[in-house]
Chain A
Amino acid sequence: MADYNPYEMIAFTGSQVLEDNTIVFVGTGLPIISALHAQMTHAPNLLMIFEAGSLAPILELGLPLSVGDTRAANRACFLKGMCQAFELTQRGIADYAFIGGAQIDMYGNVNSTIIGDDYTRPKVRFPGSGGAGAMAASCERTIVIMPLEKRRFVERVDFITSIGFGDGSPDYRERAGVMGAGPYRVITHQALFGYDKRTRRMMLLEVAPGLTPEDIQDKVGFELIIPKEVKTMQEPSAEDLKLLREIDPEGYFLKRRIEE
Chain B
Amino acid sequence: MAESRIRDISQLKPYERKFEWWGPSPEEARKILASKPKGIRDKRMTLKDAVKKFVKDGINLGIGGFVNTRVPIAIVHEIIRQGAKNLTLSFQSQSLTAEYLAGAMILDENHLSIRRAEMAWWAYEVIGLAPLFRYLAQNGMIEIDDYSNYGMAARFKAGAMGVPFLPVRDMGGTDMELTNRGKMIECPFTGKNVYVVPACHPDVGIIHVQGADKYGNCRIFGPYCTCPEIAMASTYTIVTTEKMIAGKAIRQFPNLTEIPFPVVDAIVHQPYGAYPGAVYGFYWFDMAHIRLFRSACEEFRKTGKKDKLEEYYNKYIFECEDHDDFIRKIPPEDLKRARMLDGGQPLLV
Q: Which residues of A contact B (CB under 8 A)?
A: 28-29, 50-54, 61, 65-74, 79-84, 86, 90, 109, 113, 117-134, 136-138, 156-163, 166-167, 169, 172-179, 252-253
**Is A81 a contact of B225 with CB atoms below 8 Å?**
yes
Please name all residues of chain B whose beta carbon is closer than 8 Å to the beta carbon of A67 when the two chains form the complex.
66-67, 125
User: Which residues of chain A are within 8 angstroms of B113 by Cβ–Cβ distance?
Assistant: none
Which residues in B have their C-beta under 8 angstroms from that of A123? Answer: 138
Contact residues of B: prevailing secondary structure = mixed
A158 CA to B67 CA in the complex, in Å? Answer: 26
Interface residues of B in 99-123 (CB under 8 A from A): 119-123
Contacts of A161 on B, CB cut-off 8 Å? 146, 174-176
Q: Does B280 contact A (CB under 8 A)?
A: yes
Q: Quick check: B149 and A51 within 8 Å, CB to CB?
A: yes
Check if B169 sits within 8 Å of A177, measured CB to CB.
yes
Residues of B at under 8 Å CB distance from A? 3-6, 8-13, 15, 65-70, 92-93, 119-123, 125-126, 129-130, 133-134, 137-138, 140, 143, 146-151, 153-154, 157, 168-177, 179, 184, 192-195, 222-229, 278, 280-281, 284-285, 287, 342-343, 345
Q: For the complex, give the distance between the alpha carbons of A97 and B293 in Å.
A: 32
Chain B nearest Cβ from A120, distance in angstroms: 6
Measured between C-beta atoms, what is the minimum distance from A78 to chain B in Å? 11
Question: Which residues in A have their C-beta under 8 angstroms from that of B278?
Answer: 66, 68-70
Check A177/B138 contact, CB under 8 A, given A79-B222, A134-B150.
no
Q: Could you tell me if A119 and B15 are in contact, using CB atoms closer than 8 angstroms?
A: yes
B178 to chain A, nearest CB (A): 8
Total A-B pairs, Cβ < 8 A? 252
Question: Quick one: which of A66, A118, A124, A156 has the most chain B CB within 10 A?
Answer: A66
Bound Cα distance A173, B173 (Å): 7
CA distance in complex: A132, B149 (Å) = 8
Judge whether A53 and B223 touch: CB under 8 Å.
yes
If A160-B175, A167-B8 touch, whether A124 touches B345 (CB-CB below 8 Å) is: no
Nearest to A53 among chain B residues (CB) is B223
- In the bound complex, residues from chain A placing their C-beta under 8 Å from that of B66 are 52, 66-68, 82
**In the complex, what's the smallest C-beta–C-beta distance from B228 to chain A, in angstroms?**
7
Q: How far is the CB of A73 from chain B (nearest CB, A)?
A: 5
The chain A residue with its CB closest to the CB of B137 is A125
In the bound complex, CA of A180 to CA of B148 (Å): 16
Q: Is A179 a contact of B169 with CB atoms below 8 Å?
A: yes
Complex interface: chain A residues within 8 A of B11 (CB) = 117, 156-159
